[in-house]
């Protein structure tokens, strides 16, 4: 999450709690019994549906979604164009040097296919299969959170029913009614807040993150296959630009000097010209010798 999102989130949470405080003491919105009913019921239903290992995966993916930054498509396009130019200078096997420098596991594996000289059909099939199951795993994580979002309001309603039962059981006892009414009202509040302020946004952030990473993987797959077919770097650049928005298509083809500096490629020296090459015995090439006019 970038700084703008964090600032916006802090501001919105502040406004959210200010709305509660305008009615008086914030403490009247807290009820331990209602909180335990909603949280305990939601987590219990989730454990009935999913294994603990699956829930650990969901938490890991969620933490990574907020902590780690996804590379921009423009960065991947620029890197692939650089690699394409390098492969034309030093050959595909030279890309093995960059395999350990890439921070994206998918790109590293794709470069490994290039170094191993695997055919384009196998590369496309392998990377497409990996993308498919990556999407399936992420959809499973998203499904867990969406189900939790549907469980929370239901258990909020269950807490309200518990409060109403206690209130009806204490008819005629003012003290008993005052104790059970907060349970009935706050339980529904907790269920709605947990569902719409936490679980549903968590599922959406995983979905958004997955779509971003799938776009990068698609760009990498097409770029690697183009490098394998020795496509011209300028054509590769135009092809990969079609995956990004028009406002982001400001990438320029890298200069030869930049490629030589980045990959430590020394330019070939021109062959020295032989002395007198291209010149005749009496002057420059293509010029007839002057006739000897003799004395006078």
Give the model's pLDDT for residue 100: 55
Query: pLDDT for 113-162, tens place per residue?
Result: 888 888 889 999 999 999 999 999 999 999 999 999 999 999 999 888 88
Kindly tell me the burial class for residue 236, based on how many C-beta atoms sit within 10 Å of its own C-beta (0-12, 13-18, 19 or more).
buried
Q: What percentage of residues in the chain have a pLDDT greater than 90?
A: 30
- The secondary structure of the chain, three-state, reads CCHHHHHHHHHHHHHHHHHHHCCCCHHHHCCHHHHHHHHHHHHHHHHHHCCHHHHHHHHHHHHHHHHCCCCCHHHHHHHHHHHHHHHHHHCHHHHHHCCCCCCCHHHHHHHHHHHCCCCHHHHHHHHHHHHHHHHHHHHHHHHHHHHHHHHHHHHHHHHHHHHHHHHHHCCCCHHHHHHHHHHHHHHHHHHHHHHHHHHHHHHHHHHHHHHHHHHHHHHHHHHHHHHHCCCCHHHHHHHHHCCCCHHHCCCCCCCHHHHHHHCCCCCCCCCCCCCCCCECCCCECCCCCCCCCCCC
Average pLDDT over the chain, rounded to an integer: 78
The answer on pLDDT for 283 being more than 50 is no
Q: What percentage of residues in the chain have a pLDDT greater than 70?
A: 73
Give the model's pLDDT for residue 54: 93
Query: pLDDT for 200-242, tens place per residue?
Result: 999 999 999 999 999 999 999 998 888 888 887 788 888 888 8
The answer on pLDDT for 28 being more than 50 is yes
Query: pLDDT for 85-112, tens place per residue?
Result: 777 766 666 566 665 556 578 888 888 8
The answer on pLDDT for 288 being more than 60 is no
Local confidence band at 81 (pLDDT 50, 70, 90 cut-offs)? confident
Backbone angles phi, psi at 284, to 5 degrees: -60, 160
The answer on pLDDT for 280 being more than 50 is no
Contact between 217 and 131 (Cβ < 8 Å) = yes
Whole-number Å distance between alpha carbons of 283 and 196: 90
Give the residue extent of every domain in the chain: 31-262
pTM: 0.72
Give the model's pLDDT for residue 56: 94
The answer on pLDDT for 282 being more than 50 is no
Give the model's pLDDT for residue 271: 52
Contact between 243 and 219 (Cβ < 8 Å) = yes
Residue 51 or residue 271, greater confidence: 51
The answer on pLDDT for 289 being more than 60 is no
∠ CA 30-34-35, rounded to 5°: 70
Residue 45 or residue 176, greater confidence: 45
| Lowest model confidence (mean pLDDT) among 39-43, 201-205, 250-254 | 250-254
Backbone angles phi, psi at 167, to 5 degrees: -70, -45
Local confidence band at 281 (pLDDT 50, 70, 90 cut-offs)? very low
């Amino acid at each position: 999450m970038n700084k703008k999102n964090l600032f916006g989130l802090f501001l919105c949470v502040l406004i959210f709690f200010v709305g509660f405080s305008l009615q008086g003491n914030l403490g009247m919105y807290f009820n331990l019994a209602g909180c335990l009913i909603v949280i305990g019921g939601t987590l219990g239903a989730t454990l009935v549906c999913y294994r603990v290992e699956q829930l650990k995966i969901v938490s890991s993916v969620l933490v990574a979604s907020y902590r780690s930054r996804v590379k921009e498509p423009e960065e991947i396009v620029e890197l692939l164009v650089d690699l394409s130019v390098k492969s034309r200078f030093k050959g595909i096997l030279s890309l093995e040097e960059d395999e350990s420098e890439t921070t994206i596991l998918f790109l590293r594996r794709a470069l490994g296919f290039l170094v191993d000289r695997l055919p384009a059909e196998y590369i496309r099939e392998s990377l497409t299969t990996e993308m498919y199951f990556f999407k399936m795993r992420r959809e499973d994580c998203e499904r867990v959170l969406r189900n939790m979002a549907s469980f929370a309001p239901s258990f909020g309603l269950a807490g309200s029913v518990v409060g109403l039962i206690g209130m009806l059981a204490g008819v005629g006892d003012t003290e008993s009614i005052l104790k059970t009414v907060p349970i009935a009202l706050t339980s529904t509040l907790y269920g709605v807040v947990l569902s719409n302020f936490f679980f549903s946004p968590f599922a959406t952030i995983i979905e958004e993150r997955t779509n971003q990473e799938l776009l990068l993987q698609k760009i990498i797959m097409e770029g690697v296959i183009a490098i394998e077919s020795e496509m011209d770097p300028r054509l590769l650049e135009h092809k990969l630009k079609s995956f990004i928005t028009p406002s982001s298509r400001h990438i320029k083809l890298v200069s030869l000097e930049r490629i030589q500096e980045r990959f430590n490629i020394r330019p070939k020296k021109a062959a020295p010209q032989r002395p007198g090459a291209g010149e005749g015995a009496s002057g420059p090439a293509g010029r007839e010798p002057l006739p000897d006019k003799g004395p006078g």
